[in-house]
Amino acid sequence: MRVLILGGTREAYELAERLAEIDGLQVISSLAGRTRAPRLPAGEIRTGGFGGAAGLTRYLREERIGYLINATHPFADQISAHAVEAAAASGIKLLRLLRPAWQAAAEDRWIAARDATEAAELCRREGGRILLTLGSGELDAFANVRNAHFVVRMIDVPEQILLHDYRVVSARGPFDLADEMRLLAEHHINLLVAKNSGGDATYAKLEAARRHRLPVIMIERPAIAQEPQAPVVASVEEAIAALRVMLR
């Protein structure tokens, strides 16, 4: 059986590594291609978009994919919607691997934002020195914030950043608590902006903000369409267990 993993996450990488060890499975990982030097998992690799739901449907049929696993980022709403549509059109089973969202602790000072635009407006009200831990696609929303100095952390630095006053820190997680505490202190950060990605790899920044008693603007996850019959699992172990049941 050929299994296609829509990947790009830590969980997708681990899942591909684990599935490659199972006899009778041929694993293909699809990466969006936005990261210049991605960590490559075991099995075959496909890079780039499919051309919408129709293109993904065509790929599933032409490549005779027997099982589709959506292990993309919790904010990857477009490809997730395409996966639901393509799986239904192709008549193949779909599994969603979705890490649980972070939950605020009693000591946390989280301010909810529906999207990057709302987060930028909250930053404009606060001002000061702000750490942005977002992808390059969200940065344009903060271009008109003139009363803040942004420290922007990302894996790949885009050729052009439209922020008024900023500094880029290029780094790839996971990050530990000591490093996050040091980053906030060295840059005199008074506000953190994050997406509710969930998982362990970048959680330390929230613990660091808690210890520094800093407010966090938390961008909520978008509503993503799910196929009613498609199981949603929260871990790699659960995904493997679901796939083994299907293979019996």
Residue range 8-21, pLDDT digits in tens: 899 999 999 999 99
HEC letters along the chain: CEEEEECCCHHHHHHHHHHCCCCCCEEEEEECCCCCCCCCCCCEEEECCCCHHHHHHHHHHHCCCCEEEECCCCCCHHHHHHHHHHHHHHCCEEEEECCCCCCCCCCCCEEEECCHHHHHHHHHHHCEEEEEECCHHHHHHHCCCCCEEEEEEECCCCCCCCCCCEEEEECCCCCCHHHHHHHHHHCCCCEEEEECCCCCCCCHHHHHHHHCCCCEEEECCCCCCCCCCCCEECCHHHHHHHHHHHHC
11 found inside a domain? yes
Total domains, the chain: 2
Instruction: Please indicate, yes or no, whether residues 8 and 57 belong to a single structural domain of this protein.
Output: yes
> Where residue 162 sits, what CATH number does that domain have?
3.40.50.720
pLDDT score of 17: 95
33 found inside a domain? yes
Q: What is the mean pLDDT of residues 63-75?
A: 95
How sure is the predictor about 35, in pLDDT bands with cuts at 50, 70 and 90? Answer: low
Report pTM. Answer: 0.89
Residue range 128-140, pLDDT digits in tens: 999 999 988 899 9
Write phi, then psi, for 11 (nearest 5 degrees). Answer: -65, -40
- Give the C-alpha separation, 247 to 89, whole Å: 21
Mean pLDDT, the chain, rounded, equals 92
- Please tell me whether the peptide bond between 100 and the residue prior to it is cis, using omega within 30 degrees of 0: no
142 found inside a domain? yes
Q: Is the pLDDT of residue 23 over 90?
A: no
Instruction: Please indicate, yes or no, whether residues 73 and 152 belong to a single structural domain of this protein.
Output: no
- % of the chain surpassing 90 pLDDT: 77
Q: What is the mean pLDDT of residues 144-151?
A: 96
204 found inside a domain? yes
Instruction: Please indicate, yes or no, whether residues 163 and 73 belong to a single structural domain of this protein.
Output: no
Lowest mean pLDDT among 78-82, 118-122, 127-131, 227-231: 227-231
Residue 233: give the domain boundaries: 2-100+222-247
Instruction: Please indicate, yes or no, whether residues 81 and 126 belong to a single structural domain of this protein.
Output: no
Instruction: Please indicate, yes or no, whether residues 143 and 205 belong to a single structural domain of this protein.
Output: yes
CA angle 236, 241, 245 (to 5 degrees): 145
Instruction: Please indicate, yes or no, whether residues 116 and 197 belong to a single structural domain of this protein.
Output: yes
Q: What is the mean pLDDT of residues 111-139?
A: 95
Judge residue 37's burial from the number of C-beta atoms within 10 Å of its C-beta, 0-12 exposed, 13-18 middle, 19 or more buried. exposed
105 found inside a domain? no
